[in-house]
Amino acid sequence: MDNSYLKIESDKSELFIKFYGKFDLYLISKYKKQIDSINMQDIKTVNLCLSNLDFLDTASAIFINNLQNDFLDKKVKITSPNQKISDTLKLTKDMKHTDLKSLKQDSFIDNIGKNLVLNYRSFLSFVEFFGLVFMAFLKYISSPKTIRFKEIFFEINESAIKAFFIISITSFLIGLVVAYQSAYQLKLYGANIFVVDMLGISILRELSPLITAIVIAGRSGSAYTAQIGAMKITQELDAMKTMGFDPFAFLVLPRIIALMIMMPILIFLSDMMAIFAGMIIANIDLSITTELFLNRFNEVIDIKHFYIGIIKGPFFAFLIASIGIYRGLMVKDDTQSIGFNTTKSVVESIFAVIICDAVFSIALTNLGI
């Protein structure tokens, strides 16, 4: 840096740009400013003197070549006695001759079209996935001895039993909050006892299934995506296929079945915990005794609310498990893809669960249930 500088001299119609010392890519922008500030009027010949230069890197060589293009209307002379420097210049110049196709930027319309096709394809692949799941399921039913009981029980333990604690805690807190907030409002009207109706219907019918589904989607759905995605990257899935082990029978169905079996049980657990929490608040805040709470509960809460909540379980489970696994299978051969697909899996499965819940809600209400 010390002895690297640029000297600009002009002699009537001739301009001398002299480079000294080293010229590397850190100096380019500094030199460019200097050169840009030259008054170019009445200059006919530009001399680029590289004779005092003892090092030139490729970026600077490209810069010097570009300078020649900038001074097209003028005569440009390059003096460089150093063989190495003229070699570098020649190297970068030769590269320019190879036809670099200019990268075409996609237009807005192009992007819409591409995204449309991409989404259409991913929709088709999702339909294909469901077809394969169904085929594998038929195979299970047609020969029950191929059912992978060991894997199913393993998954029941992994994705449901180990979730008991987190679901209990979450549901307990939700029950607590809902009861506490409604207690505050109900007290204003002296309608204390209605906290039972309120808790019973909202928790059994809507809140418990949703909370359970969301916790499971975040906990087990994402795990499915990451597990299967990693297996895809390490070619374990390919290895299974070449050994004749159908991944749908070994990995996909056991997970879906395990979750479909366990989801109603998890929802039941969630019901219990949330109502229990509500009962505590009713006792403390509204001085409704446990006995009174349970009596009222028995009177006003129809069993159908409980059944509706439980029935939703297998549907939610199917959505969560199949979206999680599908996203796992979509993982491509790079590490980015696992994170991307895991995020998508959780977002999509929670979204699907909420849509499904809305459908249930509308259908059942219209049916008068």
Q: Does 241 bind other proteins (CB under 8 A)?
A: yes
Strand, helix or coil at 20? strand
From residue 13, alpha-carbon distances to 7, 35, 78, 202, 275 in Å are 17, 16, 16, 90, 94
Q: Which of 69, 242, 287, 366 binds other proteins (CB under 8 A)?
A: 242
Identified binder of other proteins from the candidate list 235, 289, 295, 343, rule CB under 8 A: 235
- Minimum CB–partner distance for residue 260 and other proteins (Å): 22
Which stretch, 53-61, 170-178, 187-195, 238-246, contacts other proteins (CB under 8 A)? 238-246
Note whether 106 binds other proteins by CB under 8 A.
no
In which residue are the tokens 């039993």 written?
161
Nearest-angstrom CA–CA distance, 38 and 304: 87
Residue in the structure block whose two tokens are 């395990």: 258
For other proteins, the closer of residues 240 and 292 by Cβ is 240
Question: Which range of residues in 89-97, 236-244, 324-332, 346-354 is near other proteins by CB under 8 A?
Answer: 236-244
Cα 316 to Cα 302: distance, rounded to the nearest angstrom = 23
Per the rule left: phi > 0, alpha: psi between -120 and 50, beta: everything else, 8 is beta
Report the SS3 class of residue 15: strand
Residue 230 Cβ vs other proteins, minimum distance, rounded to whole Å: 8
| Residue-wise burial string across 347-365, b where 16 or more C-beta atoms lie within 10 A, e elsewhere | ebbbebbeebbeebeeeee
- The token pair at 148 is 């992978």
Shortest spacing between CB 145 and other proteins, in angstroms: 12
- Which range of residues in 21-29, 41-49, 99-107, 239-247 is near other proteins by CB under 8 A? 239-247
Stretch that binds other proteins, among 33-41, 78-86, 234-242, 289-297 (CB under 8 A): 234-242
Among positions 238, 332, 343, 355, the unique one binding other proteins when judged by CB under 8 A: 238
Does residue 151 interact with other proteins by CB under 8 A?
no
Closest CA to 222 of 303, 325, 308, 125: 325
- 144 lines the binding site for other proteins (CB under 8 A): no
State yes or no: residue 236 binds other proteins (CB under 8 A). Answer: yes
> Site residues (CB under 8 A) for other proteins?
230-231, 234-236, 238-245
